[in-house]
């Protein structure tokens, strides 16, 4: 639906998106190329909702639960699309020009990363284990994942310091194979009770919204440490997220059927729930290198949450779980350099004539995404960006 407020074209942030972020210790909503101070906008029409977001973080809104999430979104949408003098005064009083850089919008309570793309898992298996089956035995039975470090999740724009680690037997130093992973992250709002698994059907009652995520990876460190327990230091030094949390309600037009699953997942992973028809774009130094499709992910966000809590583990407000690298079938749909270069054997040639097997100091990675909106429109999910700095 169009807004009475004049908005520039092609920003992806209109009244059908309404993502949330924090700038200058204020909860804001980007509208076009401006920011809306949410508490100021709501204060003229609903003081209770205004007080909830009159904070320097999204944490209280996340914890409030779906009825409140829906009330905030509905009220704000009405302010922007129903043209009355009162609504104009409320919005005009709340508009701000972007000033300070965005902050991490919520407190990351915990972080887990899944491995949900069959294409990615197969490609990586063939590279890392050429003499063994590409997929681990459990891969089609459960959404495999690893437990990351919440303290290393940072907002887009934070510099990426090249990490040091053990690169092989007797070798310690800066990683020589710094990589990216283009992913989708899911932000938990409503917590669950310890000992009570979250049914897959209830995922939308717990997940507040979506961020874009780059799970930076040191492939040499990862390769040496990963047998038998999987990644640890090679993937826990930094994870970048986009500054805007797009609510699930904005993405309902992007809900699609997931790929067929064979064998049929166990009952606690049913129903599978929707996949998200998001198209990610990965740019290296401003040059497009890949367009991974999130709809191709084998395991859905509902199944990931059900598995995350299937042993009775609780989720808390601010928990973040990620899809794992998004990759498709085509050569230009791969979500990391490990796949794009076949383990560094076939470097990517960029439009400017340079090549990369892995990232060099000074390289900048930008990951953006779009999704179908109402009536054939497109909405944006913002961007997650980071520039590589030399090891200290």
Which active-site residues does the annotation give? Answer: 120
Give the C-alpha distances (Å, rounded to integers) separating 134 from 124, 330, 342: 7, 18, 14
One DSSP character per residue, 240-265 reads EE-S-BEEGGGGGGGEEPPPP-SSPP
Give the C-alpha distances (Å, rounded to integers) separating 93 from 15, 61, 85, 89: 17, 22, 12, 6
Q: What is the CA radius of gyration of the chain?
A: 21
| Three-state SS at 305 | helix
**What is the rounded CA–CA span in Å between residue 125 and residue 336?**
14
Residue with tokens 């990610």: 280
> DSSP strand E in 334-376: where?
348-349, 355-356, 364-372
**What is the rounded CA–CA span in Å between residue 387 and residue 14?**
28
**What is the rounded CA–CA span in Å between residue 194 and residue 201?**
18
**What is the rounded CA–CA span in Å between residue 287 and residue 296?**
24
């Amino acid at each position: 639906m169009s807004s009475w407020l004049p908005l520039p074209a092609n920003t992806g942030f209109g009244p059908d998106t309404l993502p949330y972020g924090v700038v200058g210790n204020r909860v804001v909503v980007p509208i076009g190329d401006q920011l809306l101070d949410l508490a100021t906008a709501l204060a003229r029409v609903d003081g209770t909702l205004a007080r909830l977001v009159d904070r320097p973080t999204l944490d209280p809104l996340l914890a409030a639960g779906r009825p409140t999430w829906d009330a905030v979104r509905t009220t704000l949408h009405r302010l922007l699309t129903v043209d009355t003098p009162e609504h104009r005064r409320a919005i005009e009083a709340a508009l701000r020009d972007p000033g300070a850089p965005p902050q991490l919008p919520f407190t990351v309570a915990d972080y887990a990363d899944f491995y949900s793309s069959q294409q990615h898992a197969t490609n990586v298996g063939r590279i890392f284990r050429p003499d063994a089956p590409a997929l681990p035995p459990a891969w089609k039975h459960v959404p495999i994942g690893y437990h990351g470090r919440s303290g290393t999740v940072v907002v887009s724009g934070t510099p990426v310091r090249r990490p040091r680690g053990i690169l092989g037997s007797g070798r310690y130093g800066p990683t020589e194979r710094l990589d990216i992973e283009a992913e989708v992250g899911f932000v938990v709002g409503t917590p669950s009770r310890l000992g009570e698994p979250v049914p897959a059907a209830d995922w939308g009652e717990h997940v507040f919204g979506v961020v874009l995520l780059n799970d930076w990876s040191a492939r040499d460190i990862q390769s040496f440490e990963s047998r038998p327990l999987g990644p640890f230091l090679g993937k826990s030094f930094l994870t970048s997220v986009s500054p805007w949390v797009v609510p699930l309600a904005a993405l309902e037009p992007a809900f699609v059927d997931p790929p067929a699953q064979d064998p049929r997942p166990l009952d606690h992973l049913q129903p599978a729930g929707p996949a998200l028809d998001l198209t990610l774009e990965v740019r290296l130094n401003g040059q497009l290198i890949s367009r991974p499709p999130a709809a191709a992910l084998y395991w859905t966000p509902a199944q990931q949450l059900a598995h995350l809590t299937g042993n009775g583990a609780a989720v808390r407000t601010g928990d973040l779980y990620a899809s794992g690298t998004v990759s498709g079938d085509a050569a230009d749909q791969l979500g990391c350099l490990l796949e794009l270069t076949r383990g560094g054997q076939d470097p990517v040639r960029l439009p400017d004539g340079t090549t990369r097997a892995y990232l060099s100091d000074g390289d900048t990675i930008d990951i953006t995404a779009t999704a179908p909106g109402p009536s054939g429109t497109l909405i944006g999910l913002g961007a997650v960006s980071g520039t590589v700095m030399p090891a200290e």
